[in-house]
Amino acid sequence: MQYRLNKYIAQSGICSRRDADELITSGKVQVNGKTVTELGFKVTEKDKVFVNKKLIHPQKHEYYRFYKPAGYITTSDDEKGRKTIYDVIPAELRHLKPVGRLDKDSSGLIILTNDGDLINALTHPSVKVPKIYIVSVDGRINAEHIRKMAAGIEIEPDKKAYADVTVIETSSNSTMMQVTLYQGLNRQIRKMFEHLGFKVKSLKRVQHATITIGDLKRGEVKPIKPLQIRELKRYLEKLSQNG
């Protein structure tokens, strides 16, 4: 069976097809010992394909939901020696990559996969993929705060962050909300509330595109069903066309 070279690279799990194209044109891909820069180049399972001098192999795509506990960073390695999500994820799944990040103090849903094209589709800034969080803050949020978050808050020089907010519950000294993001800025929710004078007490992601946290327990990993992946890919395709 023949594959386009960029698809072969993407199916190895190291990147998306779009990124594979860049690797090919920049001369970082060799097939059977020869550098290939032609995007339409075809290969088979018998060919030996190297990316940055490392032999790669196509993999069967895998998809999992993971409930990240607070206190872990979303990376495979940390030079400061902090605990990472790979201290929690079972050893047989540690070859999978997280789709996006949650900061150390946040918890909730992370999709794990070796499907480079799906990772790109879910995280590329040109496609506004919704991510939904349950957030609690100290203090009472009012309609003006919600309006400001929808209109955009400059959390860094020349960097505006937006969020759709729905209040779930209020008390005399705290507010629980559903917050929906369409961006992937670093610590976006915390910085937005900090700008408004509120401290985030807890932050949990409960949905990414069509995938929900469901009945997952903290630290638990479960496979995503094939039907859910097909629905997710159809949803992302529609978003891309509409965007």
3-state secondary structure of 25: helix
Closest CA to 53 of 74, 38, 33: 33
Sign of the CA dihedral with 116 first, then 117, 121, and 122 last: negative
Both tokens of 13, joined, read 């799990």
Q: How far apart are CA 14 and CA 11, in angstroms?
A: 8
**Which 8-state DSSP code applies to residue 102?**
-
Q: How far apart are CA 117 and CA 111, in angstroms?
A: 13
Q: Tokens 């990472």 appear where?
A: 84
CA angle 98, 64, 50 (to 5 degrees): 55
Annotation marks residue 103 as catalytic: yes
Contacts 24+ apart (CB under 8 A), 76-81: none
Q: How far apart are CA 82 and CA 59, in angstroms?
A: 30
Closest CA to 236 of 217, 212, 207, 209: 209
| From 47, 78, 103, 164, active-site residue | 103
Catalytic residues: 103
